[in-house]
Amino acid sequence: MSGRSFWRTAICFSILTSLFTCQASAVSTSAASAVLIEQRSGRVLYEQNGDEERLIASITKIMTAVVALEHGQLQQEYTVTAQDMAEGSSMYLKPGDVLCLEELLYGLMLVSGNDAALAVAHCVSGETEDFVALMNETAEALGMTHSHFANPNGLDAEGHYASARDMAVLAAHALKDQNFRRIVSTASITIGDRYLANHNKLLRLCEGCIGVKTGFTKAAGRTLVSAAQREGMTLVCVTLRDGDDWNDHMVLLDYGFAGYRMETAAAGGQVLSSTLVRGGTAASVPLMAAEDLCYPLAPGERLTVVARCPVSVPAPVVPGQVIGQVCAYLDGELVASVDMAAAAPSARREVEESGGSRWWERLFSPSSAADQRTY
């Protein structure tokens, strides 16, 4: 201890993966590009030319659905016009048809309707160009640095491309939306006189498959994004220009589930630390992980978990108030973090006229408090 700085004893704890049998070995695919990630953490479990920019065909429609769900209303009605007609795969819309956005999204994601894609764009934004601008804004916000969109349906066009890694990031984001999950995991649905059967064969071929989207043009070749959930872990797989994509996805997903387990480094609600409260009715409050901190690990990998918080905070403090972070490190690299929040309240204490303050409030005033503690 030096000067007025004060640190509590630092305690680090580690999570070591159980020694489960790893059946995963080196795998290969027929794809020009391929990526396998864990959905929640984004950890890359397999990569082959993951950042190469390629034509992506109808897996574009994942972005179309994401933008529609974030900017539209599911029950918003739309009247189909001649501007919605398109070549290629179709929901077989006709001018004058009236459908809600949710019905159009089923046509978009199950039967890959290029007409449905245009109708979705017009329903949400009025003009295709305005909708495409939202697609690119969303891509930028998600850090999709090797992607650019020129239309909502994925037909080959100049300036329309993405990488396998970017599409995995997009799909992982999309799967956070329960409406998206519900739509892409639907095997079939009848809308009016239309029977829509999902083109994604993995829904019946692959254990735990929950979607996501197929694609094909002559120039792009076969493209596929899939996701599967087993034992509390969701994996996202992307292949671009892959003539054997169904088999490759099943192999890659089995590889990921065999080689990694989702480990909980800190459970939501678990008290990990505490902080002093200046001017509070309670001298300190316990701090808990605001949600589960999880990360996929291979056999023998070890997470170091660090709780960071201020030495003291001013009153009042309310339960759930974010006061720090819980961080997980793998081989010294930060790989995951969640907020740490107050688990109990501390109201503001009436100040005594004498102006006196408790000794720990003077010691841990903002000018003398350490920035963080490490556990």
Query: Which residues are catalytic, by number?
Result: 58, 61, 112
Q: What is the largest CA-CA distance in the chain?
A: 83
Phi, psi dihedral angles at 250 (to 5 degrees): -65, -40
Q: CA 167: distance to chain centroid?
A: 12
Return the ∠ at Cα 247 (arms to 232 and 188), rounded to 5°: 70
Q: Which two tokens stand for residue 285?
A: 């409050």
How would you label 69-79 residue by residue, b for 16+ Cβ within 10 Å and e otherwise?
beebeeeeebe
The C-alpha atoms of residue 170 and residue 146 are separated, in whole angstroms, by 12
Q: CA 305: distance to chain centroid?
A: 22
Element (H, E) at 139: helix 128-141
Q: Which two tokens stand for residue 87?
A: 């070549």
Q: How many CB atoms neighbour CB 272 within 10 A?
A: 22
The C-alpha atoms of residue 216 and residue 218 are separated, in whole angstroms, by 7
Q: Measure Cα distances from 9 to 214, 276, 368, 373, 375 in Å.
A: 54, 15, 18, 9, 8
Length of the chain: 375
